[in-house]
Chain A
Amino acid sequence: MTVSILHRITGSGLAIIGLAVLAWWLVATASGPDSYAAFAKVAGSPIGIIVLIGLTWAFFQHLLSGIRHLVMDTGAGFELSTNKRFAMLTMVGSILLTAALWVYLLGVVK
């Protein structure tokens, strides 16, 4: 239930904010060094980093709960205990992957 709602929320967030950031990043890169610097300044600001961490988490959560939905589409994993364990795994997995990625990223870039 929770994970199903999370799938919608993260999906909507990725669709609206995620794709907007992606388009902005590509347009900034295409427009030259000054535009890229302007994008990098916002993306690298505290609020920018928080949004990007949020998007990374949303991406991993949506990816993992998406895999869960694909498995359930085949008719598998509907037993209560299996279903609950799989749902928990998507949440634990998305947090671990987000943490690992940002520890690595902040360590390399800064």
Chain B
Amino acid sequence: MSLGDSSTPLGKVRGLGSAREGGEHWLTERVTSIALLLLGVWLIASLLLLPDLSYRTVLEWLHGAGGAVPMALFVIIGFKHALDGMKVVVDDYVHEPGNNFALNTVLLFLAVGGGALALFALARIAFGAVA
């Protein structure tokens, strides 16, 4: 990304340039936020429009494509956005390289693991039998 010279004076003196990888992270965070804006409104509206939140009702709702597909997107994009956001928080407050790497790695594993678990559960609901 070349959008003019945005280097700090210190950065110019050191002549290191940019890390060249911040732009995509920044943009992804914003694009996922717009998707989650739509999906979040969908989720709240769906929960409000369901006749009740009993096991049976929720199961049938997530069994159909109208519930399962947006929910799968919400899970995938939600965990991605959460990971991107938490990385910004960690990078802002944890400066020691070892701790920073360790914490970011823990968050990555939690996000991928949690997302996989949620998607597996959703797949069981969507492809399972509703007796």
Q: Do A37 and B55 have beta carbons less than 8 Å apart?
A: yes
State in angstroms the CA–CA spacing of A26 and B122 once bound together. Answer: 6
B103 at the interface (CB under 8 A from A): no
State whether B121 touches A27 (Cβ < 8 A): yes
- A36 (CB) vs chain B CBs: closest residue: B55
For the complex, count residues of A whose C-beta is within 8 A of B.
29
Given A29-B55, A36-B58, decide whether A20 and B114 contact each other with a Cβ distance below 8 A: yes
Q: Determine the distance from Cα of A19 to Cα of B79 in the docked complex, in whole angstroms.
A: 8
Of A14, A26, A33, A109, the contact of B55 (CB 8 Å cutoff): A33
Residues of A within 8 A of B34 (CB): 70
Distance between Cα atoms of A101 and B48 in the complex (Å): 8
B57 to chain A, nearest CB (A): 10
Mask: chain B, 109-131; 1 = CB below 8 Å from A; 0 = not: 00000100110111011001000
Q: Does A78 have its Cβ within 8 Å of any Cβ on chain B?
A: no
Known: A15-B85, A105-B48. A59 touches B118 (CB 8 A): no
Chain A interface, >50% SS class: helix
> For the complex, is A22 an interface residue (Cβ under 8 Å from B)?
yes
The chain A residue with its CB closest to the CB of B78 is: A19
* B108 at the binding interface (Cβ < 8 Å): no
Please determine whether A73 and B118 come into contact, CB atoms closer than 8 angstroms.
no
Nearest CB in chain A: distance from B32 CB, A: 11
CB of A23 within 8 Å of the partner chain? yes
Q: Which 6 A-B pairs have the closest CB atoms?
A: A15-B82, A30-B121, A36-B55, A30-B124, A26-B121, A23-B118
**A-binding residues in B (CB < 8 A):** 30, 33-34, 37, 40, 44, 48, 52-53, 55, 58-59, 62, 71, 75, 78-79, 82-83, 85-86, 89, 114, 117-118, 120-122, 124-125, 128
